[in-house]
Each structure stands twice: as structure tokens, then as C-alpha cells.
Chain A
Amino acid sequence: MKAPLKVLASEYAAALKDYLERGGEAPLFRAYQIGRDAVREGLGVLEVAAVHQESLVSELLGRLAPQGSQPIAARAAEFLAEALAPFEANRRGSLEVNTLLRDINSELEQRVGKALRDYQAAEDMLAEQRRLEALKDDFVSMVSHELRTPLTSIHGALGLLESKFGAALPEDARRLVDVARRNSQRLARLVDNVLDLQRMESGALAFDVKELCLQPLLQSAVETNQPYAARLGVGLRLDAVPDVHVVADSDRLIQVVTNLVSNAAKYSPAGETVVVSAERTLTHARVRVTDSGPGIPENFRPRVFERFAQADGSTTRRADGSGLGLSISKAIVERLGGTIGFDTCLTGTTFYFDLPLAAAPAEAPPCNERR
């Protein structure tokens, strides 16, 4: 028995004795206070109850057995012990349960503590990751701005040179200015593409998704690329498009079609025609861009949508792209809930993408009533 418990027991016994001898509320109240203070000081209720029980038993024993009558005292003690046995067992049981509960409690505390620490660590890691992502975003934006500023001067200066003095320049010089100008444009596209891809990856590229009619959109993409195709001596034709609505961002979708169309024109022999067409399936709209180029070499097919991937060999002859167009197109189509793919053989390639149809096409006005 610990010291405070011992003190408690003797004080409690004294109060109990008082009560049994003289009666009245004062000793009872004192006993109550002793018990209450002990609990307040951290002693378990069960321990206090045990003190109460022991004091009561020993006091009653003292009273039942006359002075000096050992056998009677012994019998009474046995009898009481028997009578109290179930209570004692109960008390012991409670103590054991109490200890068990305490163990479980402390184990729980440890586990919760560990879980909390793990959670905090994970959260710290995530915050660090976000910080790095933000740093990367900032870096890419800054680089893109820093690249674009000199590009603006180069591109502008060459344009001015061509416009103001083009006629006065010797043929060779004019061609060189043209080379520089086209390549400054290419560099500008590359910067745009890198920025687009990075924004797409970080989820920062905002999509303005609306229900769109496919026909005018394809029309616009084809018209935009007409001059480019014409320069390459390649025709560009848009076949009849069914009245179909998709849910998409029109600028981004035009970007995809433009990528596919300019690619197709690039790889088509002069005199051929690139055909853009669309069809409607039960659930999707499929847009196809077909060229009559040499087809995609078999060993390159798995890497078509990879970044900076371009087929080697003679087919790069007219390839002046960034090598990012198809990976951007794929990312855009997938972000719009669609898929992109291609069929290719030695006489041509068709790139196609599928987009989900707008949910309730019946409610949308027909395409020709828009615009």
C-alpha cells in the first residue's frame, strides 16, 4: 500500500469508528470528504472503495468478536470473508479491467500520436511538393517571358526589315531574312508549346468548356491553315460535317485540329490534298485528318505522342515543328474526356480523335441557327 493510501486508510477507519460509536452526520461527512479528496488527488474510485470495504470489515470484526475471543474473531473473519468474496472478486476484476483499460488507453495514445506525426509529416511533404511545383511554374513563366521579349524584338526587326527594305535587298539576303523570320516564328511557337504543356501538367491551363457545334470550328481551323498548306503546295478540304455538338473549349479544340492539319500538310507531297472529315457515332464525335504522305515508320509509331518526338530519316525533310504538337493535342483531347489515335500505312496516315457528344443534343439548336 502506498503512503497516501495508508494515511487515507487510517483516517478513514477513524471516521468510520466514530460513526459506529457515536452516530450522527459529522463523521459520515468526514469519511465522505476523505474519500472525495483522495479521488481528487488521483486515487482510483475502486481503490477508495477498497479502503472503505477493508475499514468496514475490520471495524465490524472488532465489534462482533469480544475482547480476547480469538476463535470467534477468526470464525467471524472467515464468515465475512466468504460473504465478501464475490465483492472482492468483483473488485479485483474491476481493478484488472481498469489496468487493462489504462494500458489500452496509453497504447491508443501512442498510436494516435504516431498517426498524427505521420499525418503532419505527409502534410509537410505535400506542402513542400506544392512549393516546388509553384517554383517550377514561376520558373517556366519567367523563362517564357524572358525568351519572348528578345523574340519579339528579333521577329519584329526582321519583319520591319522585310517590309521596309525587302524590295531593295539582293535575292540571297531576302532569302536569309526569310529563313531568320520563319525560325523566329518557330521559336515563338516552341515557347508557347512548352508553356502550354507545362500549364496543362500543373492543371493551370484554364479550359473554357462549352457546348460547341463542330462544323464552324473545323471550318475555322481549316481556313487558318489554308495559307500554310498552300505554301507547301498542298490542298486542304473539309468534307461535309454532320450536325453534331461536343462539349469542349473552342480555342483548345481548334489548336488540336490545327496541329493535326498542319502536320498532315507538312508530311503530304505537293499536289496532294489533306482531308478533314467528321462523323457521329452513338456516343462520340470522331474527327479525322487524312494525308497521303509516306506513313509513319513502324519503329516510330509507339513514340508518336511523346514529346520532342519526330521520325528520323527523310520524312523530317519538311518537318519544322516543335515536336510538341501531338503531345499537346493528346493532352487536350484527354482533358476533354476524349481519345486520340492514328491509322497509318505506306500511302497515308489518318489521325483521329473522339470527343463525347454533348449530353442533350436535342435541346441544342441546330448548328446553322448559331453564329
Chain B
Amino acid sequence: VQRAPLKRVLLVEDDPDVRLVAALALTDLGGLTVEVCGSAREALEVGPGFGPDMILLDVMMPDMDGVAAFHAMRAHAALHATPVVFMTARAQPHEVARYRALGSLGVVTKPFEPETLADTLRGLWRDGG
């Protein structure tokens, strides 16, 4: 089944500078439509209205971390089926396996290359369909 191309990404990242860089990489260089959130709670509020194709979710965040946010999204009426990609500091293979086992599409490691970030997400989107 051919999946519709990836267009809308909800970016959840607590660090404002990383948020800006990732958003610019995805929009200016990647041609995607992006909504940014500074916390998991904000994402849970804003996400349903934005209607993302995919959620790019930072793992280490204060208050509610990425994994907790992931579970909250899976239980959320409007977001439960939206694919999630985690974004984290270089993870060990078994940690990546754990994020995958949770049901995420994959993991993007930091620091990422801004030129290829959108393509990475498109690749995960295609393979994860």
C-alpha cells in the first residue's frame, strides 16, 4: 500500500535552541509543515488541533519525559494512531531496541545533521508504513 507522503510533523523538544534548529531544518531545508511544542503537556493540548502525520519526540524532558509522553499519546483519542519518532542523545543499541519495542517508528540521535533530518524522517515514515 502506497502511503501518502509525510507532510505535517509535531516537534516536541524542551530546549528552545534545539527546537529552533530542528524546526528550521524540517521546514526550510526539508519542506515539511511543523508545529513546535516545548513540553509533552503542550503537545497533548496542541497536537489534536494540528493533526500531525508524525510526532518527533525528545526523550529527555523535565516534568513528563518522552516515554511517558509516548504512553499518554497512545492513550489519547486523537493521537493514539500517530506514528512517533524519538529524538535522543546517542542511544545504545538495546535502548534503541527498547524505543522500537514500545511501538515507535524509530530513533533520531542528537546531534543530527540538519540537511538530512527531514529525509531521515521520510525514510522512517516510508519503512514504518
Contact = CB atoms under 8 A, between A and B. Distances in A.
Interface of A: 144-145, 148-153, 155-157, 159-160, 163-164, 184, 188, 192, 195, 199, 205-206, 208, 251
Interface string B109-122: 01111110000000
Given A148-B110, A152-B111, A157 B90 contact: no
Contacts of B94: 206, 208
Considering the complex of A and B, which 3 residue pairs feature the smallest CB-CB distances, nearest first? A156-B21, A153-B17, A159-B114
A160 B18 CA distance: 12
Nearest to B24: A160
B89 A144 contact: yes
The majority secondary structure among interface residues of chain A is helix
Given A145-B89, A206-B93, A156 B111 contact: yes
Given A149-B18, A151-B111, A164 B28 contact: yes
Interface string B12-46: 00010110111011001100000000000000000
| Of A157, A192, A251, most B-chain CB atoms within 10 Å | A157
B67 interface: no
A160 B15 contact: no
Contacts of A199: 92
B111 A148 contact: yes
A156 B112 CA distance: 7
A228 B110 CA distance: 21
Interface residues of B, number: 22
B60 interface: yes
The majority secondary structure among interface residues of chain B is helix
B60 A145 contact: yes
Nearest to A141: B89
Nearest to A250: B93
A159 B18 contact: no
A251 B90 CA distance: 13
Contacts of A160: 21, 24-25, 28-29, 114
A148 B110 CA distance: 7
B23 to A, nearest CB: 10
A185 to B, nearest CB: 8
B17 A206 contact: no
A65 B25 CA distance: 123
Given A159-B115, A163-B29, A205 B21 contact: no
B96 to A, nearest CB: 10
Nearest to A161: B114
10 contacts: A145-B60, A145-B89, A150-B17, A151-B110, A153-B20, A155-B113, A160-B24, A160-B28, A160-B29, A160-B114
A82 to B, nearest CB: 87
Contact of B89 (A148, A164, A184): A148
B97 to A, nearest CB: 9
Contacts of A195: 90
B99 to A, nearest CB: 14
Nearest to A206: B94
A84 B80 CA distance: 97
A156 B17 CA distance: 9
A184 B110 CA distance: 12
A151 B21 CA distance: 11
Contacts of A184: 111
A195 B112 CA distance: 18
A329 to B, nearest CB: 18
Nearest to B92: A206
Nearest to B14: A149
Nearest to B97: A208
